[in-house]
Amino acid sequence: MFLSTVGFVGYVLLAACEVVGVRYFGVFLAASGIFPSIANILPWVLNNQGSDTRRGTGIVILNLIGQCGPLLGTNIFPPEESPRYKKGMWVSAAFTLFTAILALSLRTMLVWENGKLDEKYGSGISEDHAERDWPAAETTVAAENYGPKFR
């Protein structure tokens, strides 16, 4: 969320400013906001799925959506807007801001859902499986992926 906001500020600087030094600073902000987000998304998608099938499906969907970026990029940076590419910078800023909003929304939703699970099953931080009133399948087989402790 924070990194996406940094990237958004960088793209706004690239789109709105004409001073070369400020634009270079915007490039560094945009790059430092975008590229770490990509590195965080890949393991997050894999580690938050309950089974190998879901992990495989999740990474396929992520790649399908991610590969739409180059298609969009070839159309929002037309050669006639060279060297500033204002339309492309504003579109990139908008998508980066949208990413920050989605990250905040997801964070809020997960905190809410985990709170509901904690109310129903307890937090499980200091409690042992044997002390809980869970079905046997949830305590012995892949409880970290399917059981009430899966967060």
Cβ neighbourhood burial of 134 (10 Å; 0-12, 13-18, 19+): middle
Would you place residue 135 in the very low, low, confident or very high pLDDT band (cuts 50, 70, 90)?
Answer: low
Would you place residue 125 in the very low, low, confident or very high pLDDT band (cuts 50, 70, 90)?
Answer: low
Would you place residue 150 in the very low, low, confident or very high pLDDT band (cuts 50, 70, 90)?
Answer: low
User: Residue 19: its pLDDT value, please?
Assistant: 95
pLDDT tens figures, 73-117:
889 998 999 889 999 999 999 999 999 999 899 899 989 988 888
